[in-house]
Chains A and B, each alone.
Chain A
Amino acid sequence: AQKVTQAQTEISVVEKEDVTLDCVYETRDTTYYLFWYKQPPSGELVFLIRRNSFDEQNEISGRYSWNFQKSTSSFNFTITASQVVDSAVYFCALSEAPGTGFQKLVFGTGTRLLVSP
Chain B
Amino acid sequence: NAGVTQTPKFQVLKTGQSMTLQCAQDMNHEYMSWYRQDPGMGLRLIHYSVGAGITDQGEVPNGYNVSRSTTEDFPLRLLSAAPSQTSVYFCASSSVGTNEKLFFGSGTQLSVL
Smallest distance from the beta carbon of A53 to chain B beta carbons, Å?
A: 14
> What DSSP secondary structure best describes chain B's contact surface?
strand
- B residues touching A (Cβ–Cβ < 8 Å)? 29-33, 35, 40-45, 48-50, 58, 88, 90, 92-96, 100-104, 106-107
Determine if A41 is an interface residue (Cβ-Cβ < 8 Å): no
Question: How many Å lie between the Cα of A109 and that of B41 in the bound state?
Answer: 5
- Are B48 and A104 closer than 8 Å at their CB atoms? yes
Chain A residues, Cβ within 8 Å of B30: 101
The stretch of A44-52, A55-63, A65-73, A76-84 that contacts the partner chain? A44-52
Smallest distance from the beta carbon of A24 to chain B beta carbons, Å?
A: 14
Determine if A30 is an interface residue (Cβ-Cβ < 8 Å): no
Question: How many Å lie between the Cα of A64 and that of B93 in the bound state?
Answer: 25
- Are B100 and A107 closer than 8 Å at their CB atoms? no
Question: How many Å lie between the Cα of A35 and that of B88 in the bound state?
Answer: 21
- Are A101 and B107 closer than 8 Å at their CB atoms? no
- Are A105 and B96 closer than 8 Å at their CB atoms? no
Answer whether A107 and B40 are a contact pair too, CB < 8 Å, given A43-B107, A45-B104, A47-B102: no
- Are B50 and A101 closer than 8 Å at their CB atoms? yes
> What DSSP secondary structure best describes chain A's contact surface?
loop
Cβ-neighbour of B101 out of A47, A100, A106, A109 (below 8 A): A47
- Are B50 and A45 closer than 8 Å at their CB atoms? no
Please give me the 10 A-B residue pairs with the lowest Cβ-Cβ distance, nearest first: A101-B31, A107-B42, A101-B94, A45-B104, A103-B48, A107-B43, A103-B33, A109-B42, A103-B31, A44-B106
Determine if A75 is an interface residue (Cβ-Cβ < 8 Å): no
Determine if A25 is an interface residue (Cβ-Cβ < 8 Å): no
